[in-house]
Amino acid sequence: MAAARPIELRAYPEDLLMAPLDERVAEWSVTAGPAPAGAKPLTLRDGKAVVTARDRFAELIAAPNLTPGVILIGL
């Protein structure tokens, strides 16, 4: 079924490196505050919501009641 393929998939430029894309600018913005109405949370490919990964080592050493001995054993 070669006829069903678009022409872009069958005809490539002769010298790709002589005419690279001229993409030099990227823009994005971030705003603090509540999510806009109708916004959907970020999801994985299987549709489950993305959860923040826990850093268990950071939780261990960030506890306020650790003694130096416990910190050395933890390390």
Question: What 3-state DSSP class applies to 3?
Answer: helix
Residues 6+ apart with CB under 8 A from 22: none
pLDDT of residue 68: 84
The tokens of 23 are what?
């993409």
pTM over 0.85: no
CA gap 12, 32 in Å, rounded:
44
pLDDT tens for each residue of 26-71? 888 787 888 888 888 788 888 888 877 778 887 777 767 778 887 7
CA gap 57, 75 in Å, rounded:
9
pLDDT of residue 2: 52
Where do the structural domains in the chain lie, given as residue ranges? 42-75
CA gap 50, 55 in Å, rounded:
15
For residues 26 and 19, the answer to whether their CB atoms sit within 8 Å is no
